[in-house]
Homo-oligomer: A and B are copies of this chain.
Amino acid sequence: MPASKKKSSSKKDEIQQSKSPAEFFAENQSIAGFDNAGKSLYTTIRELIENSLDACESVNILPEIKVTIEEMSQDQFNVMRGVPTGGKKSKKEDQPAVMDGKDNKKSAKGTTKQKRNTEAYFNIKVRDNGCGMAHDAIPDLLGRVLSGSKYGVRQTRGKFGLGAKMALIWSKKSTGEPVKIKTSHVKGVRGGGGGSIFNDTTGERKIGTKVSTCTLDIDIYKNCPRVMEHSQKANTEGWIGTEMEVLVAGNWTTYKSRVVQYLQQLAIITPYARLEMEYSNRSDAKKTMKLQFERRSEQMPAQAREVKHHPSSVNNLLIQQLLERTKSTTLLKFLTSDLSGITPSVGKKLIERLGNAFDEDMGPEELDDKQVTRLVQLLRSTDDLFKNPDGGCLSPLGEYNLNLGIKKVVEPDIIVTCRDKVGAYEGHPFIVEAAVSLGGKDAKEGINVVRFANRIPLLFEGGADVATRTANSKIKWSSYKIDHKKDKIGVFVSIVSTKVPFKVRWFVGKLV
């Protein structure tokens, strides 16, 4: 029987099948901050903003970012997107409960039963003046999870490099709608090495000759982009940067304050950016809300350089990978060229310590598994030969900017800032910058801790972190004649590192 045959073969397929990375993240989206509709709305917005900041900073452009959030009801969404509803067949008493803001209120009064679906729909646009995306690269940059490659070590904003891809997945899950991109790119700036976005002689910004538009979503099971439209035309309007547009479900009521808080804190840690946010509601013009943070500094932090791995941060897997991919022809050259902070003389000493199973002229491919283990042990335990990883690969904000950022947003009476020297944790360099402020127009009484990791605000999971604990119980505020209950105290702590572990609070816990 063909039917049963088909069944058994599909059963077999299922068992052997491997989930795609996109599928995994679609099922476990809370890993990336997409816990529920409200949080997903918030995370979508911040991922797009952080992408935009990266796109500006990567080419040394002072960021100008505009965020537009338009809320609409299910009915409005359906009309806009042509979703078929209602019709002759449905009887009045069988009408589904429509879930826009107004009807919701009514039904909440009219019935004691809690409505399940209080989600609304949001059209989110984020526009920047950054480097843009190369036309051909757009689909893969957005429609493939875990694409791209990064074999060096660099300070990056994102946690897993998922960025906008998770927004695509959330949009696909919650509304089924694709995302739209409009972008203009100056050749040779990004992904191609060399070149500058500024004209060598005039110093003016170059403007891309073409504008690309692309509409796409993601095939979750194949983990590849599904492109609906992808075209290019002459850049007659002088368009620069990128605009991303997504349509997602969400909940503004519960996460509005988080979005505002995020933007305020982002304005503190990014005083060289101009940030603008506009929220509107199709059902109620009175709910329109605007936030604007002007640029307060023209000085951008130096870009984070990509560096090689520090010897004390290696593990078996990494060394195996580096040995496989190296272009060095001898072990000595491998040590000095493929890791950071190893001079030829240190390299020779290391090889001596490795013992007589090793030779400086042996080829990297000659090392067997046990020799790799030995090499890793030596690199990790040696503490008299290597310099600490240097902070050149880090991009802290700087005290000058931190001061201006706090001044701009908090408007306090006094600010003091400080920066610690570069530290290292398991071979990963880090820098801590901090500030304390007193007073401020809208500041709350008591101790207000604001935390940043790699220059993004940490809004969640505070309280048990070391910054909060230190501020609350280790600092004797009274010895500075400060009343920690009545005075308006701002405590700002920013850490930048090539590796901020997933749970930042544990990491920060190690620092003290």
B146 touching A352 by the CB < 8 A rule? Answer: no
B35 touching A355 by the CB < 8 A rule? Answer: no
Residue of B nearest to A95 (CB): B353
| Choice from B117, B176, B316, B378 contacting A174 with Cβ under 8 Å | B316
Chain B residues contacting A426 (CB-CB under 8 Å) are 116
CA–CA, A83 to B371, complex, Å? 6
Which of the candidate stretches A20-28, A334-342, A486-494 sits at the interface with the other chain?
A20-28
Residue of B nearest to A119 (CB): B380
Chain B residues contacting A355 (CB-CB under 8 Å) are 84-87, 89-90
Which of the candidate stretches A41-49, A204-212, A298-306, A499-507 sits at the interface with the other chain?
A499-507
Chain B residues contacting A86 (CB-CB under 8 Å) are 355
A99 within 8 A of B: yes
Chain B residues contacting A356 (CB-CB under 8 Å) are 84, 87-89
A280 within 8 A of B: no
B97 touching A381 by the CB < 8 A rule? Answer: yes
Contact with B along A12-53 (1 / 0, CB 8 A): 001111111101101010110001000000000000000000
- Identical chains bound together, number: 2
A81 touching B116 by the CB < 8 A rule? Answer: no
CA–CA, A388 to B479, complex, Å? 59
Beyond A17-B148, A116-B312: 6 further Cβ-contacts under 8 Å? A15-B149, A19-B21, A21-B24, A88-B356, A115-B383, A463-B464
A173 touching B35 by the CB < 8 A rule? Answer: no
Q: Which of A364-386 contact B (CB under 8 A)?
A: 369-374, 376-378, 380-383
Q: Jot down 19 A-B pairs with beta carbons below 8 A, ordered by A.
A: A14-B149, A15-B148, A15-B191, A18-B146, A21-B146, A26-B317, A83-B370, A84-B357, A84-B358, A86-B355, A90-B355, A94-B353, A95-B353, A96-B353, A96-B378, A116-B312, A116-B383, A119-B380, A176-B370
With A84-B357, A117-B381, A149-B17 in contact, is A175–B89 under 8 Å at CB? no
Which 5 pairs, one residue from A and one from B, show the smallest C-beta to C-beta distance? Answer: A87-B356, A84-B357, A87-B355, A176-B316, A19-B146
A383 touching B146 by the CB < 8 A rule? Answer: no
CA–CA, A137 to B185, complex, Å? 50
Q: Which of A169-213 contact B (CB under 8 A)?
A: 169, 172-176, 191
A96 touching B176 by the CB < 8 A rule? Answer: no
Residue of B nearest to A23 (CB): B146
Q: Which of A120-160 contact B (CB under 8 A)?
A: 140, 144-149, 151, 159-160
A481 within 8 A of B: no
Scoring A84, A99, A312, A371 by chain B CB atoms within 10 A of each residue's CB, the highest score goes to A84
A105 within 8 A of B: no
B173 touching A316 by the CB < 8 A rule? Answer: yes
A223 within 8 A of B: yes
B26 touching A173 by the CB < 8 A rule? Answer: no
| Choice from B78, B97, B503 contacting A374 with Cβ under 8 Å | B78
A270 within 8 A of B: no
| Choice from B99, B160, B369 contacting A28 with Cβ under 8 Å | B160
Residue of B nearest to A117 (CB): B381
A175 touching B316 by the CB < 8 A rule? Answer: yes
A489, chain B: closest CB distance, angstroms: 22
Chain B residues contacting A502 (CB-CB under 8 Å) are 28, 30-31, 35
A315 touching B173 by the CB < 8 A rule? Answer: yes
Chain B residues contacting A82 (CB-CB under 8 Å) are 370
CA–CA, A159 to B148, complex, Å? 27
B315 touching A174 by the CB < 8 A rule? Answer: yes
Chain B residues contacting A251 (CB-CB under 8 Å) are none
CA–CA, A147 to B172, complex, Å? 23
A485 within 8 A of B: no
